[in-house]
């Protein structure tokens, strides 16, 4: 049985209220508010600096510019929201809206970021065009520098060689990041030929056939991954001699891509296994002690 | 229902017996019209023509007769769960009674409470009347207080309930919220709530019967 009812009385309307709503601290829309404030005062916007200059921006990397762009964009979103409220409440034309002034400053930074990026883009396009036009000249020029440099300049030449192979053949210094293609095969052979000419001229064991040329991608890869020292290249030559003594036919051009993919896979696996053994070797003493 | 007109008394409501027979939960649903802000209370999962006939007897040019067929623009405002079907029926009757008071018997008082625009109108733009939803919330508060039973109101959101000061004297209510739902699955969501309410009511009733040893739990009479 239900208890007796109370008297029914009419009440005034109950308007909805926002006071019951609890907003999460990490709500995404907080990004439109500075410090969770409804609006900033004009005093809080006084200490705004000047926009970034072009020379300052030229020193920044792409990642830094990218970050700066989004920081600016978010700040402009905040300012324009505040500006809209400011104009609504004042209900008149405001020539010096502080929010708009700061927003314009940020806008200047933003077009300068774009300007710097476009400069880089044009420089890149021009560079590519120049490489295409003077391809053989650039290779010959580098070859001459590389082969005539003395032993003292080995390290410098190694760095230059890395840049050369990246610029002309697209060979990433991190070998495992490359995707095998014809250009990379061409680059590997070219680099191997240069290394062999620079370091391979030293004495080799008597009674063995001198290694003057690269027969296939396998040999090119051995020389390419060899250390940039006479000893490194000598070891590579020995490996090639052993390889040739086995009497296998050189890899044909049609099979080169598959062969390179296998070589790169093995190279990576070896690197991983070497890395794991070295970490084990490091870990061992600590466990024994 | 002494204040109701003879016309209204002839309209049959869903009785407690009906709710039991068709296994409906002891619920009362409040639906809000998205276009006009009008609210219709219902004992079923969607507003029926009967509910509208009950609650819009004095429709006029600024409180037009809404259409039950437009199921797409009726959204749940609140779902009230009562302890048993009898309480649910009387709760619904009280809401209809309050609507009658607003439209007829205490029309002037109700109109004085309404917030007016600068032109002394209850609307601001188009056909939308924000006051109707707010009055429905007040009616729910009145009906809860009058029921004198523990009940739960599931609101569509935190915003609708209004500030706590309006609910201060009413201690027999538990505020909760409807789950987040896709409008396409509105009826499914309401059906689930109604089913849960029915299960809870049946469980409670069973325990009551057991404790009182009545109904199916009655002790067999001693054979002479």
Per-domain residue ranges for chain A? Answer: 28-121, 149-202+211-273
Does residue B152 lie in a domain region? yes
Judged against a pLDDT cut of 50, whether residue A285 lies above it is answered with: no
Does residue B223 lie in a domain region? no
Interface test with B, best of A1, A5, A14, A17 (most B CBs within 10 A): A14
Q: How confident is the model at residue A287 (pLDDT cuts 50, 70, 90)?
A: very low
Q: How confident is the model at residue A209 (pLDDT cuts 50, 70, 90)?
A: low
Chain position carrying tokens 């014809």: A182
Contacts of A18 in chain B (CB under 8 A): 159
Note whether A24 contacts B: Cβ–Cβ < 8 A: no
* pLDDT score of A175: 84
Interval B4-13 mean pLDDT:
52
| Listed ranges A93-97, A177-181, B150-154; the one with the highest mean pLDDT | B150-154
Q: How confident is the model at residue A274 (pLDDT cuts 50, 70, 90)?
A: confident
Segment holding B173, helix H or strand E: strand B173-177
* Residue A213 or residue A189, greater confidence: A189
Interval B94-102 mean pLDDT:
95
Chain position carrying tokens 């870990």: A283
Judged against a pLDDT cut of 90, whether residue B10 lies above it is answered with: no
Name the phi and psi angles at B79, rounded to 5.
Answer: -125, 120
Name the phi and psi angles at A31, rounded to 5.
Answer: -65, -15
For chain A, give the percent of residues with pLDDT over 90.
47
Does residue B128 lie in a domain region? yes
Phi/psi region, residue A267 (left: phi>0; alpha: psi -120 to 50; beta: rest), is alpha
pTM score:
0.61
Q: How confident is the model at residue A47 (pLDDT cuts 50, 70, 90)?
A: confident
| Listed ranges A99-113, A144-158, A260-274, B46-60; the one with the highest mean pLDDT | A99-113
Q: How confident is the model at residue A253 (pLDDT cuts 50, 70, 90)?
A: confident
Do B123 and B144 form a contact (C-beta atoms < 8 A)? no
The shortest C-alpha distance from B14 to chain A (Å) reads 18
Domain enclosing residue B17, as ranges: 6-217
Q: How confident is the model at residue B1 (pLDDT cuts 50, 70, 90)?
A: very low
* pLDDT score of B13: 79
Structurally, chain B folds into a number of domains equal to 1
Contacts of A16 in chain B (CB under 8 A): 133-134, 137, 159-162
Instruction: Give the other-Cβ count within 10 Å of A121's Cβ.
Output: 10
Note whether A286 contacts B: Cβ–Cβ < 8 A: no
Nearest to B162 among A3, A10, A15 (CB): A15
* pLDDT score of A275: 75
The shortest C-alpha distance from B3 to chain A (Å) reads 12
pLDDT tens column, A128-143: 898 889 888 999 999 9
Residue A283's alpha-carbon distances to A274, A279, A286, B105, in angstroms, are 14, 6, 6, 90
Does residue B1 lie in a domain region? no
Average pLDDT of chain A to the nearest whole number: 87
Does residue B132 lie in a domain region? yes
For chain B, give the percent of residues with pLDDT over 70.
94
* pLDDT score of A288: 40
What residues of chain B, 64 to 93, have a C-beta less than 8 Å from chain A? 83-84, 86-87, 90
Query: How does A197-210 read in b/e, with b if 16+ C-beta sit within 10 Å?
Result: ebbbeeeeeeeeee
Segment holding B94, helix H or strand E: helix B85-100
Does residue B123 lie in a domain region? yes
Do B39 and B215 form a contact (C-beta atoms < 8 A)? no
- Tell me if B160 and A2 make a contact (CB, 8 A cut-off): no
CB contact set of A259 (below 8 Å; sequence gap of 6+): A216, A217, A218, A251
Q: Which of A127, A164, A173 is nearest to A142 (CA)?
A: A164
pLDDT tens column, A18-42: 998 888 999 999 999 999 999 998 8
Q: How confident is the model at residue A204 (pLDDT cuts 50, 70, 90)?
A: low
Both tokens of residue A287?
């466990």
Q: Which residue of B has its CA nearest to A18?
A: B159
| CB burial of residue A141 (10 Å; 0-12, 13-18, 19+) | exposed
* pLDDT score of A280: 56
Report the distance separating Cα A129 and Cα A141, nearest Å.
17
Instruction: Give the other-Cβ count within 10 Å of B67's Cβ.
Output: 13
């Amino acid at each position: 049985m239900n208890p007796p009812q109370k008297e029914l009385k009419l009440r005034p309307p109950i308007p909805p209220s926002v006071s019951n709503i609890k907003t999460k601290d990490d709500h995404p829309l907080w990004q439109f508010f500075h410090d969770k404030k409804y609006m900033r005062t004009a005093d809080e916007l006084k200490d705004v600096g000047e926009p970034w200059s072009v020379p300052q921006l030229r020193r920044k990397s792409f990642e830094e510019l990218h970050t700066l762009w989004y920081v600016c964009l978010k700040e402009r979103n905040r300012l324009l929201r505040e500006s809209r409220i400011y104009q609504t409440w004042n209900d008149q034309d405001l020539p010096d809206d502080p929010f708009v002034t700061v927003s314009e400053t940020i806008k200047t930074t933003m077009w300068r970021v774009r300007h710097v990026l476009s400069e880089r883009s044009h420089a890149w396009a021009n560079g590519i065009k120049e490489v295409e036009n003077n391809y053989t000249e650039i290779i010959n020029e580098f070859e001459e520098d590389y082969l005539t440099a003395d032993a003292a300049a080995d390290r410098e030449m190694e760095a230059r060689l890395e840049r050369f192979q990246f610029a002309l053949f697209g060979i990433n210094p991190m070998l495992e990041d490359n995707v095998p293609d014809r250009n990379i095969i061409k680059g590997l052979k070219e680099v191997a030929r240069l290394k062999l000419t620079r370091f391979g001229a030293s004495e080799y064991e008597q009674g063995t056939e001198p290694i003057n040329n690269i027969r296939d991608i396998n040999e090119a890869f051995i020389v390419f991954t060899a250390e940039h020292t006479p000893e490194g290249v000598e070891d590579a030559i020995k490996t090639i001699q052993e390889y040739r003594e086995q009497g296998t036919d050189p890899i044909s051009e049609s099979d080169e891509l598959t062969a390179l993919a296998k070589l790169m896979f093995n190279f990576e696996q070896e690197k991983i296994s070497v890395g794991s053994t070295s970490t084990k070797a490091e870990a061992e003493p600590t466990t024994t002690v | 229902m002494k204040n109701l007109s003879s016309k209204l008394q002839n309209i049959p409501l869903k009785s407690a017996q009906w709710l039991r027979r068709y296994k409906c939960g002891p619920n009362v649903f409040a639906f809000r019209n998205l276009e006009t802000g009008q609210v219709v209370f219902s004992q079923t999962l969607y507003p029926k023509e009967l509910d509208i006939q009950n609650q819009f007897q004095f429709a006029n040019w600024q409180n037009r007769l809404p259409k039950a067929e437009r199921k797409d623009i009726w959204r749940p405002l609140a779902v009230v769960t009562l302890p048993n079907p009898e309480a649910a029926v009387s709760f619904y009757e009280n809401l209809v009674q309050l609507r009658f008071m607003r439209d007829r018997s205490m029309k002037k008082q109700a109109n004085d409470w309404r917030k007016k625009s600068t032109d002394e109108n209850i609307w601001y733009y188009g056909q939308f009347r924000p006051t109707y939803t707010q009055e429905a919330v007040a009616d729910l508060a009145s009906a809860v207080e009058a029921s004198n039973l523990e009940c739960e109101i599931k609101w569509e959101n935190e915003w609708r309930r209004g500030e706590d000061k309006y609910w201060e004297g009413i201690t027999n209510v538990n505020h909760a919220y409807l789950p987040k739902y896709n409008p396409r699955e509105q009826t499914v969501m309401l059906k689930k709530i109604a089913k849960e309410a029915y299960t809870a009511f049946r469980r409670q009733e069973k325990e009551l019967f057991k404790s009182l040893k009545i109904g199916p739990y009655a002790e067999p009479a001693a054979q002479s």
